[in-house]
A and B are shown apart, each in its own frame.
Chain A
Amino acid sequence: MREPIDPAGVDFRRVSPRLIRLRLVAKGASGLVLVLLGALPLVLRQTDVWHGFPLWPAVVLPLLVVLAVVWRLALIPRQVRAIGYAEREDDLLIRRGLFFQRVMVVPYGRMQYVDVSVGPLERAFGLASIKLHTASAGTNAILEGLPAAEATRLREQLSARGEAKLAGL
């Protein structure tokens, strides 16, 4: 899969496909809550607690919420497959996004520190996230869904290269 935004001659490594399941679980859970909230007026109406509530908004609202949630879930596999990174000699390239696409290059010498984080859900899937910080707040370089071993390797690699190429500010 090659998007027009991707710079020529760069082969991106993709993150683990397990991130798809992780995001499906996470977003599915939050989507379920939203659907339940959206269905609240209908339930209240049917149980005669809130009798005066008009019928059609009570039906349309949960339907809309369900549609939005399904749309969001359906996008996840493609969104995850759109995440990629490439280690080059001097810098790390990161790409992401489906509708709003972004490619970012972070020079190793500009990295101030690297964060590796593992949440409870990520741990269950054996995944980890890595975040690169530079002196700029605009650098929003975060990579989710790396297998734990790969995240460790990348962190070591980034720190080693960062130290070798460190350039003040």
Chain B
Amino acid sequence: MSASYAAVGWNKQKKIYDWLIACLCFIYLLLFISVTLIINEQATFETLLIRSTSTLAVLLLHIILAIGPLCRLNKKFLPLLYNRRHLGVTMFTFALVHGSFSLFQFHALSNTNPIISLFTSNTNFGSLAAFPFQVLGLFALIIFFLMAITSHDFWLHNLSPKVWKTLHMFVYLAYILVVMHVMLGVIQYENDPVFVIMIFAGAITLVILHLLAGSKERKLDNMKFALQREGFVYVCPVAEIEDSRAKIFYIDKERIAVYRHNNKLYAIHNVCKHQGGPLGEGKILDGCITCPWHGYQYLPHNGQSPPPFKEKVSTYDVKIIDGKVWLNPAPFAEGTERPGAEIK
């Protein structure tokens, strides 16, 4: 969390994270290239470059897409999420090397402009076997490019979190394009079924992880709140909310986090203004609700980030009657101070 923009707000954990990314990428490239040269010594530099960077980018993409649901299922994966955008930019860089070198290798030094050639050399869009798979890779690369250049918080704030999030959800379209790029491309040439098996295993793993994470969310969203009184809804006994922690409730299509702090209960909108992180899964630190994803902070009584930060979320009224927590799902304007409910 920072009040001004820097290229990268380095800290110890980010440095460790990036070193690990660099080491893993180095290990992969070293292994892929050296093993290929040992058992397939006729390999050329161009092929090694194209294949090592593409396979690494696909592997990184799977890791990136797995981090989100893994964090929903187990909070101990959160350190992987914190700096995920660096992993994304790394993946894009390898995909870019693969894409630009392939464009040169397969389309340059010809009678047509390489970009035009990419779209016109193969126009068998009606045939799966002959489908122009390179175009699929190009569209995926464009999505990764847009995501990489907008990955900085500067763009998050200027595009608005909603637009930014929507743009970054296109990663799933890009993933489908990548899978089709591989399945309709190099796998049509290779003999060994291991490539198909690996792609399917990766896709199935991601689908299962997302379904499991989704089902956890659905349980929360399917909670029924039958008791209502003067606009308030009974949500849970006070004892169920731990100190400095929250419980999340889904009422009227909104997720609301009810926090316990200094013997009082406060309710705020559950969605962090930064990247939509679940504020109710955070913790109160130094008197501030702290988002578990990137550590953005909000004051419990008014939903405002402490100065000089300017983020604000909606607040809600909450009251306690006979040890039971009652919540009014009508939101107050973002940053509106509410008194909270005292626990007696």
Q: Is B truly associated with A?
A: no
Residues of A within 8 A of B (CB): none
Residues of B within 8 A of A (CB): none
